[in-house]
Amino acid sequence: MSKTVVLPNGLEVSFPDNATDAEMSRAIGKFMFESRKASSPTTTAQPAQPEATGKFFKSIPKGLDKVQMMAGAGLDVIGEATGLEGLEKYGEAVAKKGEADLAVKEALDPSLRLKDVKNIVRGQQSFVDYVQQSLGEVLPSMGLSIGGGFAGAKAGAAVGAKLGLGATAAIPIPGARVAGLGIG
């Protein structure tokens, strides 16, 4: 059995079962380019300029969907551990919605995988494109981590000041200050 893709012009293109999304996208793009080139009345030979794919901003919504999936899975686990069925079902629904949204985005614009990288800098499947896309996908979770760390630091400082721990010497190892509260 093969994978079949229906193009906007109604033409059906078949691919083998083991074809990846990136391979199919490349083949379809190449076919569309060649058919457009053949139908244009005048073509002049010009050197092909590599196009930047701009995957950084396009991949941020995919990162948001991944964060949504993780948050939903976390709520699911908390609901399961505490026996709150409503929270567990809500978490499952949130995770499934994030997964469905991500699947739609992947179908429309497949992510570049490291195995698809053909060169370092030039072209549409370069390592630079891969890095840009990867950074865009992790940016939402990095933002949450940094925001949570900042809020935790502010809350910890406020609690420490209330407990009279503001004058303790700074210990440069993360967690060492908290572990050393009962000492001395």
Decide which of 63 and 22 is more confident.
63
Q: Is pLDDT at 49 greater than 50 in this prediction? A: no
Rounded Cα–Cα distance for residues 119 and 122 (Å): 7
Q: Is pLDDT at 172 greater than 70 in this prediction? A: no
Q: Is pLDDT at 64 greater than 80 in this prediction? A: yes
Sequence-distant (6+) residues with CB within 8 A of 102 are: 62, 65, 66, 69
- At 20-32, the pLDDT tens digits run 877 777 777 776 6
At 68, the pLDDT band (50, 70, 90 cuts) reads very high
At 95, the pLDDT band (50, 70, 90 cuts) reads very high
Range 137-158 average pLDDT: 86
Amino acid type, 170: A
Structure tokens at 33: 């380019």
pTM score, whole prediction: 0.55
- At 100-114, the pLDDT tens digits run 998 888 888 888 777
Q: What is the pLDDT of residue 10?
A: 66
Rounded Cα–Cα distance for residues 160 and 104 (Å): 47
Q: Is pLDDT at 76 greater than 90 in this prediction? A: yes
* C-alpha dihedral, 173 to 178 to 181 to 183, nearest 10°: -40
Rounded Cα–Cα distance for residues 122 and 133 (Å): 15
Residue among 26, 1, 30, 32 nearest 14 (CA): 1
At 55, the pLDDT band (50, 70, 90 cuts) reads confident
Return phi, psi of residue 12, to 5°: -100, 135
Q: Is pLDDT at 72 greater than 90 in this prediction? A: yes
For residues 127 and 117, the answer to whether their CB atoms sit within 8 Å is yes
Q: Which residue blocks in the chain are alpha helix, DSSP H?
A: 21-39, 55-82, 85-108, 127-162, 176-179
Q: What is the pLDDT of residue 183?
A: 46
Range 119-131 average pLDDT: 75
